[in-house]
A and B are shown apart, each in its own frame.
Chain A
């Protein structure tokens, strides 16, 4: 049974005085927000501040006690919930790929329920896997537990896009990933966002992520919307102390001058290291086998740079050696000052660097991650 396409594009989403109580506690308290079509709005706030509850109200997983939610001026309470949800993509931190279905079945499930034919479903699944940088012939017939966390989250995004919904709800989609992967997926997501052309509502607790991805940022605290605005507005005109303390990271960086790289190192695991003489074909199978997305290329004793799995997958000449495709990244001694290293990285636009101890590779430095560790 095919459900009606409720809206081809989003013109506006409006929350009007939305309130939800559990017993005597407010989950959200009189929240009003206007979201424009095509916008990426990020909800951020401490846990229990009501950001996830707000998100889950938009696809009616939670229904408000009072107040109304309008999408394109239609009250969502007047829409059939199943139809509404098929028009809204949903991606969550725990991903929740169904373990009994293959990747293709997971992505195609709703399309199948909508009565699409096999061919159309298969084409759509292939298109979406390609869109999230997973080679479809390699992944379609696998089961979720055979995929790494990052690969699973890519599939989670593909699954949410299957009906080409004009609106996407994302609840800390990168929250459970390790730092290397999180940075990379954020980067990729930032790049495909334009191509997606969708209205996106995104929940996170990572202010760096919010600044990086969001058009506007909504700050929630204690079940209330405290302030919504662009990064600049929040930084220069914070509504109160709480907003200032969330966005104004400079105060917290006062002691940054004294920090050294070794304080914020992400340790290296030896599975990341691959020899430069390896051909692309074997590097790909090794990386997929180890569930890693980035490999350190070494010449036997010294790290030359990195290669990314998605880049390798796109290479035409699978016979060539990975040493020919190395991306150089900076390397620092572990005793170097953090502030100066970060400046160098910022200047050259690097998102990661090697950390060396006694001339040997001992870990990585991720500036964004370093920031959030300092803030946290």
Chain B
């Protein structure tokens, strides 16, 4: 009782280790990042393919993107609980919801990136004797990469958010630790798990940002 009311200043290294161990935060982090990785890989594969598909069928591009936009406005917890009857409790609906939210940025950026490649490159590629397939794979896709990575970066942030909420529907992960802290009103648990969750998200976002900037610089965009 005493320990919990000492407040923020007294969070010592020994407390940190204790909180970490009693809440098995290593395990929680692994669960967290597993869901995160599965969702991101799935969303990237589906999103990039969908973007390519929309690029080849411009007619359905707008309606599809509008639909994905609608998904984006649905609040996260209602979306999660609506998926429960289909996917049960746990990591299933968490991953599905993450993918649904991530599709818009990845698909939209892939589609826009491909569509807005500077036509002078397409023209010169055609004049050099590249086939349409070569133009897509050697010119359009590589030139859209900075844009696609930008979409992925937004998706990373969405996914981190949803995966953390997964704790509410028994998916484990760091959200579960936060819930334990709130329910038992354990201040140290909340602080350690909360800061660690935030830090993790910021680190991943920062790494993605570095990749994005590298690509932009390499391509001479600025």
Contact = CB atoms under 8 A, between A and B. Distances in A.
A82 B123 contact: no
Contact of B124 (A84, A96, A143, A146): A96
Given A56-B127, A86-B129, A143-B220, 12 more contacts: A85-B126, A90-B127, A109-B128, A109-B130, A113-B130, A113-B134, A113-B138, A143-B219, A145-B220, A146-B220, A160-B128, A169-B127
B44 to A, nearest CB: 19
A86 B123 CA distance: 14
B139 interface: yes
B218 interface: yes
A274 interface: no
Interface string B94-122: 00000000000000000000000000110
B93 to A, nearest CB: 39
B130 A82 contact: yes
A110 B145 contact: no
Interface string A91-114: 010101011110000000110010
Given A143-B220, A144-B220, A110 B130 contact: yes
A262 interface: no
Nearest to A85: B129
Nearest to A113: B134
Contacts of A143: 218-220
B143 A99 contact: yes
Interface of A: 3, 56, 59, 61, 82-87, 90, 92, 94, 96, 98-101, 109-110, 113, 143-146, 159-160, 169
> Which residue among A3, A96, A143 has the maximum number of chain B CB atoms within 10 Å of its CB?
A96
A159 B220 contact: no
Contacts of A85: 126-129
A87 B128 CA distance: 9
B92 interface: no
Contacts of A3: 129
B138 A109 contact: yes
A100 B129 CA distance: 19
Contacts of B123: 61, 96
Contacts of B131: 82
A100 B218 contact: yes
B220 A99 contact: yes
A86 B143 contact: no
26 contacts: A3-B129, A59-B127, A61-B123, A85-B126, A85-B127, A85-B129, A87-B129, A90-B127, A90-B128, A92-B120, A92-B124, A92-B127, A96-B120, A96-B124, A98-B139, A98-B142, A99-B219, A100-B145, A100-B218, A100-B219, A110-B129, A143-B218, A143-B219, A146-B220, A159-B128, A169-B127
- Looking at chain B, what size class is its interface with the partner chain? 20 to 34
Contact of B128 (A86, A94, A100, A101): A86
> Which residue among A85, A86, A144 has the maximum number of chain B CB atoms within 10 Å of its CB?
A85
B161 to A, nearest CB: 32
Contacts of A56: 127
Given A99-B219, A100-B143, A143-B218, A61 B130 contact: no
A290 to B, nearest CB: 18
A304 to B, nearest CB: 36
Contacts of A159: 128
A94 B139 CA distance: 16
B117 to A, nearest CB: 11
A80 to B, nearest CB: 10
Nearest to B124: A96
Contacts of A87: 129
A61 B126 contact: yes
A92 to B, nearest CB: 7
Q: Which 9 A-B pairs have the closest CB atoms?
A: A145-B220, A85-B129, A86-B129, A96-B124, A90-B127, A100-B142, A99-B219, A96-B120, A82-B129
Contacts of A169: 127
A85 B127 CA distance: 6
Contacts of B221: 99
A92 B141 CA distance: 23
A1 to B, nearest CB: 9
B102 to A, nearest CB: 25
A143 B218 CA distance: 7
